[in-house]
Amino acid sequence: MGEYDDVPLTIQVGKGGITDGILKEIDDQLQKKGVVKLKMLRSAPEAGDFRNNMERISADLKADLVFSRGRAAVIRRPVGRKVFRE
């Protein structure tokens, strides 16, 4: 992870999966901090296809997937941009 080692884990996706609430929280954190580290627990329905789901989330939120290993990922976007609409 290198330069993103000190980014705290702020989002865990559990058995509820990737919901609109999770997407909104990722978007809010990207808007404020510009970077989000998240982990998908084994209980999440999407855990089997983690990398593709992270790529899809990144694309939907107009962000960059800068790191992915196992079920952890770091997503980055310029601070101040809000994308997700409910």
Q: Is residue 35 part of a domain?
A: yes
Q: Is residue 36 part of a domain?
A: yes
Residue 60: CB partners within 8 Å, gap ≥ 6? 23, 83, 84
Asked if residue 77 lies in contact with residue 63, where contact means CB atoms within 8 angstroms, the answer is: yes
Query: Is pLDDT larger for residue 46 or for residue 18?
Result: 18
Residue 31 CA to residue 71 CA, distance in Å, equals: 23
Residue 47 CA to residue 79 CA, distance in Å, equals: 28
pLDDT at 84: 65
And the tokens for 78?
A: 């310029």
Which domain range does residue 37 map to? Answer: 2-76
Q: Is residue 83 part of a domain?
A: no
Read off the pTM: 0.85
Q: Looking at the predicted structure, is the pLDDT value of residue 86 above 70?
A: no
Q: What is the CATH number of the domain that holds 62?
A: 3.30.110.60
Count of domains forming the chain = 1
Tracing tokens 């809000």 back to the chain, one arrives at: 82
Q: Is residue 66 part of a domain?
A: yes
